[in-house]
C-alpha cells in the first residue's frame, strides 16, 4: 500500500496529498530509509505503490487552484503539440475518487517523472507499482447527456501513452544508477501497472479480501501496537494476542488453502457493518467453500449476531490452522443466524 502522506488517520493511502513525503505515522523519512536498508541487506526489493490517477482534495494544487475549477472542465485548451493546457497545471475538474491529475498536460507528465526519480535517488527504492492506471486522464472523456462521465466504459479507457511515457522516463533514468545496471546496459528496475483490465473492480488478480463497497473497508480504525509485532500480549479482557508476524503468516496460509480465500469480488458480500462499534462481517465463497470473516477493530470483546446464512457446523479455521485443536471451537448453527463473541 502507498506510504506517501495522507490526511485521514485511517486510510489505505490511496488519497495522497504530498507525493515527495513519506507518511510520518509509518516512521517518516528516517524510518523508511532504515526499512529500505534492512530489506536490501536481506535481499528484498522495495516496490512503492504510487497513486497518480487522482489525489486528495487537500492536494496543494487543488487547494491553491480551487476557485478556478469551473474554468477548465471543457477540453478547449490545446497548444501546437496537442498538449492540454488549463489554469491548473496539475488537477482536472473531473473527479473519480478525487480530482483526476490531468496527464494531457506536459506539467503533469514531468511532475510524476520527477516524483519517481526522487524516490529512486533519495530512498534507493527498486521500482514502482502504478495504481489504477485505468483511471489515468490522458484524453478528453466522453460525457453523458447529463454531464456525468462513465469512467469505466470502453470509450473512456485511457490510451496509456502517458503511462508508457512515465515508465520509459523512469527506466531511462534508472539506467544511470549503478544498482540497476546490467552488463548489456539495460536496467533491472521493476515497474508494475495495476488495473490494465476493464475495471479496477473486475480484476481477477486484485482480490484484497474485503468487500468492494461499504465504509468498513477504510474506517475500521484501530490503534497500532507495534509492541505486538514479535511478542504475544494480553488483551484488556485477559485473552492472548498473537504476535502480528505469526498472525499474518497464518492468515496467508488460510487464504492459500481455502478456495474461498482466492475468490474474486463477485463472490464477496458485506453482511454486517457497525461503524460505531468498529465491526464488519463479510462472506466469501468459491463453489462449495464458504467463509465468514468477522473483524473487530475495537479494543474489547463484543457480542454480535453473525448471519451464517445456512444450517450446519462452522469451524474457527484461524485457530485450527494454528494447530490449537484443543482451543478450536465449532459452531453448530440450527438457525441461519447465531450470536457470537468477537475478540
pLDDT in tens, the chain (343 residues): 788 877 766 667 778 889 998 888 778 899 999 999 999 999 999 999 999 998 888 888 887 776 655 545 554 455 556 566 667 788 887 888 888 898 988 889 999 999 999 999 999 999 999 988 888 998 888 888 888 889 888 888 888 888 889 999 999 999 999 999 988 888 999 998 876 654 333 322 333 344 455 544 444 455 556 666 666 666 555 556 667 777 788 888 888 888 888 887 778 888 888 877 888 888 999 888 899 888 887 777 888 888 888 778 888 877 665 544 433 344 444 445 444 444 4
C-beta separation of 32 from 40 below 8 A: no
Three-state secondary structure call for residue 158: coil
Task: Please tell me the predicted confidence (pLDDT) of residue 39.
Answer: 94
Among residues 309, 195, 198, 203, the alpha carbon closest in space to that of 263 is found at 203
Query: What does the block give as the cell for 179?
Result: 544498482
Looking up cell 499474518 gives 248
Rounded to whole angstroms, how far apart are CA atoms 224 and 215?
Answer: 20
Query: What does the block give as the cell for 319?
Result: 485457530
Task: Please tell me the predicted confidence (pLDDT) of residue 193.
Answer: 85
pTM: 0.64
Task: Please tell me the predicted confidence (pLDDT) of residue 112.
Answer: 95
Among residues 338, 235, 233, the alpha carbon closest in space to that of 294 is found at 338
Query: What does the block give as the cell for 281?
Result: 462481517
Q: Are strands 4-5 and 18-22 parallel, antiparallel or unpaired?
A: antiparallel
Handedness of CA 304, 306, 312, 316 (dihedral sign): negative
Task: Please tell me the predicted confidence (pLDDT) of residue 97.
Answer: 82
Q: What angle do CA 16, 94, 84 make, to 5 degrees?
A: 100
Among residues 49, 45, 163, the alpha carbon closest in space to that of 113 is found at 163
Amino acid at each position: 500500500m502507498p506510504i506517501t502522506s495522507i490526511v485521514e488517520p485511517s486510510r489505505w493511502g490511496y488519497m495522497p496529498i504530498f507525493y515527495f513525503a513519506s507518511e510520518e505515522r509509518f516512521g517518516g523519512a528516517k524510518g523508511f530509509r532504515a526499512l529500505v536498508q534492512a530489506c536490501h541487506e536481506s535481499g528484498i526489493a522495495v516496490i512503492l505503490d504510487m497513486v497518480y490517477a487522482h489525489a486528495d482534495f487537500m492536494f496543494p494544487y487543488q487547494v491553491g487552484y480551487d476557485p478556478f475549477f469551473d474554468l477548465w472542465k471543457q477540453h478547449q485548451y490545446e497548444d501546437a503539440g496537442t498538449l492540454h493546457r488549463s489554469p491548473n497545471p496539475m488537477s482536472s475538474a473531473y473527479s473519480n475518487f478525487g480530482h483526476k491529475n490531468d496527464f494531457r498536460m506536459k506539467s503533469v507528465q514531468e511532475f510524476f517523472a520527477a516524483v519517481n526519480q526522487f524516490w529512486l535517488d533519495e530512498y534507493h527504492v527498486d521500482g514502482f507499482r502504478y495504481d489504477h492506471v485505468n483511471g489515468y486522464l490522458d484524453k478528453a472523456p466522453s460525457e453523458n447527456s447529463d454531464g456525468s462521465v462513465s469512467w469505466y466504459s470502453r470509450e473512456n479507457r485511457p490510451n496509456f501513452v502517458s503511462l508508457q511515457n512515465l515508465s520509459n522516463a523512469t527506466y531511462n533514468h534508472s539506467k544511470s544508477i549503478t544498482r540497476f545496471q546490467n552488463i548489456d546496459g539495460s536496467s533491472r528496475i521493476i515497474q508494475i501497472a495495476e488495473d490494465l483490465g476493464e475495471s479496477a473492480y473486475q480484476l481477477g488478480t486484485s482480490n484484497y479480501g474485503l468487500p468492494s463497497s461499504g465504509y468498513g473497508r477504510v474506517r475500521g480504525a484501530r490503534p497500532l501496537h507495534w509492541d505486538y509485532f514479535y511478542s504475544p500480549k494480553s488483551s484488556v479482557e485477559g485473552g492472548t494476542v498473537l504476535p502480528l508476524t505469526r498472525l499474518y503468516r497464518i492468515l496467508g496460509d488460510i487464504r492459500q488453502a481455502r478456495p474461498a480465500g482466492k475468490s474474486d469480488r463477485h463472490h464477496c458480500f458485506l453482511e454486517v457493518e457497525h461503524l460505531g462499534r468498529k465491526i464488519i462481517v463479510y462472506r466469501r465463497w468459491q463453489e462449495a467453500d464458504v467463509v465468514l470473516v468477522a473483524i473487530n477493530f475495537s479494543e474489547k470483546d463484543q457480542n454480535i449476531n453473525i448471519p451464517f446464512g445456512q444450517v450446519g457446523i462452522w469451524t474457527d479455521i484461524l485457530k485450527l490452522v494454528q494447530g490449537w485443536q484443543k482451543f478450536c471451537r465449532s459452531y453448530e448453527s440450527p438457525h441461519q443466524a447465531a450470536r457470537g463473541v468477537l475478540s
